[in-house]
Structure 1
């Protein structure tokens, strides 16, 4: 009997220890399960993005066509220029930094055997935009495709251009707005012609106030960027209405999440996190350029205008990026801010 009691007393503490170890392991298994789930989900999302990447299947030759691409010295713009040069188009790289533009031109020539032209354009200077457009009109007999590709992420703190506008707003919308209108007559003369606006799904969270285009207070830089992408779509909507019957079409596209250089200047936490996601899920710049090229060359969209595309197919645009009243108000305000007359 004493032996039994002693054994029971000894077994009690041992069982308690085992139970304690088992209880301690439960949180570990839970953590491992969560981590495994996240990894599997991430891989599935990555697989989905790879399988759904759009490809431009058109083999259209662009001989005799002239294309202007803004911001074509890096990223999507450069890859778009490369592909259109390969298709024998006369490609004009419209870039702020001519040193980088020359490097891009040399790279494009080396890979395609085709030379491209260079012109300086600083979208953060309306004077530069006017000078660029004047040179194009004076020297180019035609313009078949205008690709509004250049863009910038909002810097960590507010910056204003020499014209007094918030820099992201001017670079991503207002400068392109002015450029488009100054080249419209040449586009009409060359019809059928196309305008391609490189936008972003950032329009989903854009919060444009058409009664106040000062883009302040400057609390969330990434939100400001998204709002300029909303401007891109609103501009596309209104411009397409005004261009009806002219032989000039305009469409906007989301290139996808692309591992490009656009966010290099931004150091805020939001953009840092965004860049980490891009490093894993993002497309290559060549993949990101597919939809831009598609809208520039494909016969499928020859008569399509005012639409939003992703992965070489039309896609849904949120109501606040297509609202007719907001589009008209932004257009009218942009006319006023750039001090031009409506030329359509």
Structure 2
């Protein structure tokens, strides 16, 4: 009898949680068109990046899918064109694990395009190995923080020329688990025994928020805004990079409670198109609403300034902000 009651309670709790999560999932209700606007979506070939790119293409924007994998990028481009009816969608190669690739992408984009209205730093990696890129940076930190930082700075001249440029950085509530040590930003002090994939991911997502905070200060006096967001716990390929004992069982049980990819893209889309945030900058969003960040470090404006300076140093790059 006790076991039956427990099973009924668990089923009821599971059902209640499912309904609650679906009802509280933020949906972008803005129908604004983007005809004449130019958009870059990094990682736009898959997951919430693809859903974001497809939505913005449906609004009439000129959409650039900035992706590492050519075949997947072209396939995503063709699918978006077919479903949206917008032929102004393009694939451009961008490998965030290579600063040479980032610089080449930016140089070619500036040479070929007259403006940039929306930059969505969506691409990211979870569960990254303890390896260094050709640039000497930790793979997870470069992909999630250093490369988007550099890309944004390089593309700023075009963003500045926009009537109302927007920079959107996809972060995560994982930043709540992070403790940022600026003396170990590139994780040089980590050994094989102390290295943690989840720690690297959390730190990189905290860096996304702090980058947004400092960037918003440096954008004052321009018509460009920047905001960061938590998309929700989304059923995407990035979850496949997470592994621990019984993870497959846990994913099977959790899957109905996760956001699908369309739902996961809604806050990004909201920040890209909504008039409600036209003059909002340096803030953090979840479910299409502005919310408070989760830790003192994420609110630390001085830490954000120092992160910017150290990032420039490690990249051997000086921004023009």
TM over 0.5: yes
**What is residue 84 of structure 1 aligned with on the other side?**
56
Offset, 1:265: 3.3
Offset, 1:270: 8.9
Offset, 1:34: 3.5
Offset, 1:92: 0.2
Offset, 1:167: 0.9
Which deviates more, 128-137 or 223-232?
A: 223-232
TM-score (norm 1): 0.87
TM-score (norm 2): 0.93
Task: Give the alignment partner of residue 84 of structure 2, picking from 106, 112, 115.
Answer: 112
- Relative to structure 1, is the Cα distance of residues 326 and 35 closer, same or farther in structure 2, using a 3 angstrom cutoff? farther
Separation in 2 of the partners of 1:283 and 1:205?
21
1:61-114 CA-partner distances (Å, limit 9, x unpaired): 101100000000000010000000000000000000010001111111111111
Hey, which bits of structure 1, 4+ residues long, moved more than 6 A? none
Contact 2:130–2:195 under 8 Å retained in 1? no
Separation in 1 of the partners of 2:284 and 2:141?
20
**What is residue 124 of structure 1 aligned with on the other side?**
97
CA-atom RMSD, angstroms? 1.7
Separation in 2 of the partners of 1:273 and 1:130?
42
In structure 2, stretches of 5+ residues that fail to align are none
Q: Which has the larger radius of gyration?
A: 1
Which deviates more, 313-322 or 129-138?
A: 313-322
2:12 is aligned with 1:40: yes
Matches within 5 A, 1:1-344: 29-115=1-87, 116-155=89-128, 157-215=129-187, 216-217=190-191, 218-269=194-245, 275-276=251-252, 278-318=254-294, 319-344=296-321
Please state whether the residue corresponding to 1:241 is helix, strand or coil. Answer: helix
Separation in 1 of the partners of 2:135 and 2:97?
8
1:245-269 CA-partner distances (Å, limit 9, x unpaired): 1111000011111111113234344
1:206-259 CA-partner distances (Å, limit 9, x unpaired): 121112113324443122212211111111111111111111100001111111
In structure 1, stretches of 5+ residues that fail to align are 1-28
Contact 2:127–2:198 under 8 Å retained in 1? yes
